[in-house]
Copies of this chain bind each other. A is one copy, B any other.
Amino acid sequence: MNEENKQGRIGIKDIALLAGVSKGTVDRVIHNRGEVSIKSREAVQKAIKDLDYSPNLFARSLASRKHYRFVCIIPKYQPGDYWETADLSFDEAVRSFTDYNVSIEKKYFDQLDASSFAVTAESVFSQLPDGVILAPFFRTETLAFVSKLIAQNIPFSFFDSMVEDTDFLTYYGQNSFQSGYIAAKLLLDGLPEDAEILVVLTQRKKNVLSNQTVNRNRGFIEYIKKRGLEGKLKLVEVWLADDDEKANFSLLQDAFSKNKSVKAAITFNSKVYRLAMYLENLHRTDVRLLGYDLLEKNVRYLKQGVISFLIAQRPDKQVYCSLRDMCRKLIFKQEVTRVNYVPVDLLIKDNIDYYIDFKE
């Protein structure tokens, strides 16, 4: 083991020396807070360039007294729900940034209730946060919220879905349209052209579908058109309620008894385990089933072979990257990419374990 001092990392005082000024002046140039003559500024900038200086981020955050406080806004959830992953990922992610003097506060709203979202969002302002990360469930309310954020000069990022034409810092999420397209391909390829397909939708209040669902559905239809299957395939829509499992069961029962030769079924959200549960009860293994997200129940049915495909969208990464980019932009003044589509990950029973077990 070698004890070598200093591998010659060049620091602020090296450029001070080269530029013929003191490190205080260098500091003023780096954080351009003025009070520097043009001559000195240029000398420093040249030195920085010549020596290819990059600051030691550790020393920086050690020395910095600034404390950054971010707020994230996500829906309330039941244990095992999709949103639990995102929630836990925030805790996980913030741990990687505590040493940068970063802390985070989470706020929850009712995903069926737009006014709950508005109230939660409003409560953010009293905290005077340095940045906000949110899943923009309700378009109108989100627009109102972010315009107020902009007025107060508070940067914000979207994840999961986005509201376009707003001045968000970053977006991390899946391209829903494309993921619906891919879902269609996986579900339909190899099936007869006139097969019966069950499309299971979950309605929220006022019959409104989520952004994600709408766009995935569009992508789904697009594939069907492209393959020239429109009008040939028999698409059967089944509308379930979000909370009434008993009613849902009989709705499914109804659908399957009316359509005897269903070859495949799909949901555009994470609730595919409902369908799986239903099919398993009936010991039907002849229906190709596809859904989204790696809920524990979904994974179990995938491994059992009841579900054929799951499409995942790395919720943990969405959260981590959103937070990281906010740090990069605000703390380290680095550039970040605005729109970031996460991969459309295809999971089958044979590769699911490696996907889940892999901890980066």
Contacts and interface: CB of A to CB of B under 8 A. Distances in A.
Interface in A114-172: 128, 130
* Chain A interface, >50% SS class: loop
B337 A343 contact: no
Contact of A350 (B67, B98, B181): B181
Nearest to A9: B98
A266 to B, nearest CB: 16
Contacts of A61: 58
A218 to B, nearest CB: 15
A281 interface: no
Contacts of A4: 67
Indicate the size class of the contact surface on chain A. Answer: 35 or more
A62 B103 CA distance: 22
One complex includes copies of this chain to the number of 2
A335 to B, nearest CB: 12
Interface in A91-115: 98-99, 101, 103
Interface stretch (A249-257, A271-279, A352-360): A352-360
Interface of A: 1-5, 7, 9, 56-59, 61-62, 65-67, 69, 98-99, 101, 103, 128, 130, 174-175, 178, 181-182, 185, 189-190, 317, 320-321, 337, 340-346, 348, 350-351, 354-355, 357-360
5 contacts: A4-B67, A58-B99, A174-B354, A178-B351, A178-B354
